[in-house]
Amino acid sequence: MSWVGEEIDYSSPYANYRSPLSTRYASKEMQYNFSDQKKFSTWRKLWVNLAKAEKELGLDISDAQIAEMEANVNNIDFEAAAAEERLTRHDVMAHVHVFAKQCPLAAPIIHLGATSCFVGDNTDLILLRDGLDLLLPRVAAVMANLGHFAEQYKSLPALGFTHLQPAQLTTVGKRATLWLYDFLMDERALRRAKEDLRFRGVKGTTGTQASFMQLLEDGAKVRALDKRVTELCGFQKTYPVTGQTYTRKVDVEIVAALSSLGSTIHKMCTDLRLLANMKEIEEPFEKSQIGSSAMPYKRNPMRSERCCALARHLMALFSNAVNTHSIQWLERTLDDSANKRLTLSEAFLSADAALLVLVNITQGLVVYPKVIERRINQELPFMSAENLIMAMVKKGGDRQICHEKIRVLSQEAGAQVKQFGRDNDFLDRVRADEYFAPILGDIDKLLDPSTYTGRAADQVVEFLEEEVAPVLERYKEALKDEKPVTLNI
């Protein structure tokens, strides 16, 4: 909608759509990884590496030509490339032409023998690798923060929930290990995805390497060329067979791991939102932060809500990846191109943005032990029934009679809570019943919350030492310089 007679300045940077992933959420490092500068300078590095390998294998390429190309790797004329693409309707050839004009000596050998997917697909694989290198330390930082939190609160009893109904006690630290274990699985999945990444290398138009056979006239040399370019680009292996593209199953595996990370983030942050509602645990809240424009007393879990929002988008992207792979007819179709531009970048940017917020959250979680204790005290009387029965049996009581007594008293107490909103008076009723006189002196001991948490504290210690510590050891260099994360918006 525009006002009548309004003139719109389309040249203004604020008159164009800008992704909130770049303007509000994702890190500068991840934005750069999917930037035009990184993409097209990587194309040029690929052309340099191709020329170097072809020269090594006997093609007539000079050191001067390679030096000229290397000198212009980052000197990209984006306006000239855009103008060329408008003419040619082909992004790769547009950049070949612009690069050739900047490198007149090397112009005859730029992109020699290659197809567009040589730069397009190999660059995507480099961006995927580098993107995972950025994400994995962030996952490790969240894990480290949760590990410290779990250790600190390993013995603090808390009411457990099943079906979102009060259940047996757990501890605050033990609950944190449930989140932490999911991240442990995500770290493994993302690391495996990175380790499994290979390079497309030099495979030609339909994957047969026919153009390189024309150039080198020797199958062994073509294979050596493929291997050498792969090494120069920092990979150890190539995909042994491809069509025109590397199989889009690779994208499925990467986005699947990222989407799975999204489900972990969403689950944990949903739990935090529930706990904030109970006033047991809250995310950090700045002194000047405003929770609501209308209700100034509110402390909304805004960071956790943002994580859930970003995670839902991340999880939804998996369907794009799997559907794109499923319709790559024969050696390839081009209907993957636009989708990949959106899906791969947004998957990494969304994961990066959510992890940044989550690092901030886990650096400053606030626990309210007195609120947790009060909630335990509201429910523990009912949970103590089995302990009371066992204590009575040890004093010579009949289990069946005791069970019936407790059933009646607990139902009466429950009615007071549900029908009249009163406090749970079950124990008062037990104390007033002469039947329970033999154990009245033991009731306080029988109600010690720490006796209801089983091996929770020991489980936390064992889990952190045996499972988490070895994984975090991989990231000790990155974690030692970890600084508090502040969010701009």
Q: Where do the domains of the chain lie? A: 30-109, 116-200+242-286+296-368, 385-446
| Res 1: pLDDT | 56
Strands 281-282 and 157-162: what pairing? unpaired
| Res 288: pLDDT | 46
Given 3.90.1150.10, 1.10.3470.10, 1.10.275.10, 1.10.3720.10, which CATH number is that of 30-109? 1.10.275.10
**Does residue 279 have a pLDDT over 90?**
yes
Q: Which of 292, 319, 326, 450 is catalytic?
A: 292
Mark whether 163 is an active-site residue: yes
CA atoms within 13 A on the CB side of 421: 0
| Res 293: pLDDT | 43
Main-chain dihedrals φ then ψ at residue 59, nearest 5 degrees: -75, 155
Given 1.10.20, 3.30.2420, 1.10.40, 1.10.3470, which CATH number is that of 385-446? 1.10.40
**Which pLDDT tens digit goes with each residue over 470-482?**
999 999 988 887 6
**Does residue 211 have a pLDDT over 60?**
yes
pLDDT category at 195 given cuts 50, 70, 90 is: very high
How many residues are given for the chain? 489
Convert 276-311 to b/e letters by CB count within 10 Å (16 or more is b): beeebbbbbbeeeeeeeeeeeeeebbebbbbbbbbb
CA atoms within 13 A on the CB side of 183: 31
**Does residue 3 have a pLDDT over 80?**
no
**Does residue 156 have a pLDDT over 70?**
yes
**Does residue 248 have a pLDDT over 80?**
yes
**Does residue 295 have a pLDDT over 50?**
no
| Res 416: pLDDT | 86
**Does residue 99 have a pLDDT over 90?**
yes
**Which pLDDT tens digit goes with each residue over 128-142?**
999 999 999 999 999
**Does residue 44 have a pLDDT over 90?**
yes
**Measured in whole angstroms, how far is the alpha carbon of residue 287 from the centre of its chain?**
29
CB atoms within 10 A of CB 64: 10
pLDDT category at 297 given cuts 50, 70, 90 is: very low
Mean pLDDT computed over every residue of the chain:
90
| Res 447: pLDDT | 83
Mark whether 313 is an active-site residue: no
CATH class of 116-200+242-286+296-368: mainly alpha
| Res 294: pLDDT | 46
Pair of tokens at residue 433: 């019943």
**Which pLDDT tens digit goes with each residue over 56-80?**
999 999 999 999 999 999 999 999 9
Q: Which residue, chain included where needed, has tokens 């855009």?
A: 82
Main-chain dihedrals φ then ψ at residue 112, nearest 5 degrees: -65, 120
Q: Which of 2, 11, 12, 163 is catalytic?
A: 163
User: Looking at residues 340-347, what average pLDDT do you find?
Assistant: 91
Q: Considering the entire predicted model, what is its pTM? A: 0.88
